Amino acid sequence: MSEHYFTVTWDQLHRDAKALAWRLHALGPWTGIVAITRGGLIPAAIIARELECRLVETVCIVTYDDESRGEPQVTKPPVAAGDGEGWLIIDDLVDTGTTAKVVRKLLPKAHLATVYAKAAGKPVVDTFITEVSQDTWILFPWDTEPQFVAPLARKG
């Protein structure tokens, strides 16, 4: 279990993904976007809209089971992207860089961008928006739902 948790709302994710799009716009034009599933799907959709990019591919890699990390398994390669030249790879987060390294081998000429980055994964990405401490688990809006939480003063 992580020591710290950071909850990202839908609004915050949208703002951060749009900020990433602003940075990426200046580096384009782009042939297409490869979304790393599942976390990269929503940021990739926002970025594709902002960059008016109509060609969106996916790469499916299984790395996590809840908070437990395993060996990455590519369950669907990004065939349409070739070697990645002219393509953007989008993910929600780079943590240790394990998934990013796998995708880099598949698409060595692509530009890899994430919305959030932890220190261990930062060297693997080309562009990111927000740095998060390594000991923080990000709770994305698709993994949570609003509920009552007791005030901090009541938690002893």
Residue 150 to residue 156: CA distance in whole angstroms: 11
- Which residue is listed with tokens 């490869």? 34
Q: Is 143 a catalytic residue?
A: no
Q: Residue 101: which of 36, 32, 146, 33 has the closest Cα?
A: 36
**Which of 92, 126, 135, 143 is flagged as catalytic?**
92
65 carries an active-site annotation: no
Which of 95, 126, 135, 143 does the annotation list as catalytic? 95
The one-character DSSP state at 79 is G
Q: Is 135 a catalytic residue?
A: no
Catalytic residue among 11, 65, 83, 91: 91
Token pair 């070697």 is found at: 83
Residues catalogued as catalytic: 91-92, 95
